[in-house]
Amino acid sequence: MSAFTVRLPDDVAKRLDKLAEKLDRSRSYVAAQAISDFVTREAWQLADIEAGLREAERGEFASDAEVAATIARFTKRKRRR
């Protein structure tokens, strides 16, 4: 396991300490968990973005109808009377 120093603003360090206390964990454990979660999330997001860019480079785009259908699934249009 690697160890390194991280500099935090005082208010963030205090919040970290409070959270660690509430979780009955060490400051180090909570910080390591937060970094692990961040790295996992960012790696997933970047991989997804890179896959999308590769699709775009191949010219694989959604049609206007596909985009409209997707938008319609997530929005409610007000009916005009």
| In-domain check, residue 34 | yes
Which ranges of the chain have pLDDT less than 50? none
Long-range contacts of residues 17-20, Cβ cutoff 8 Å, at least 24 apart: none
| In-domain check, residue 4 | no
Statement: the pTM of the whole predicted model exceeds 0.95: no
Tell me, what's the pLDDT at 80? 62
| In-domain check, residue 80 | no
Number of domains in the chain: 1
Q: What are the counts of helices (DSSP H) followed by strands (DSSP E) for the chain?
A: 3, 0
Tell me, what's the pLDDT at 38? 97
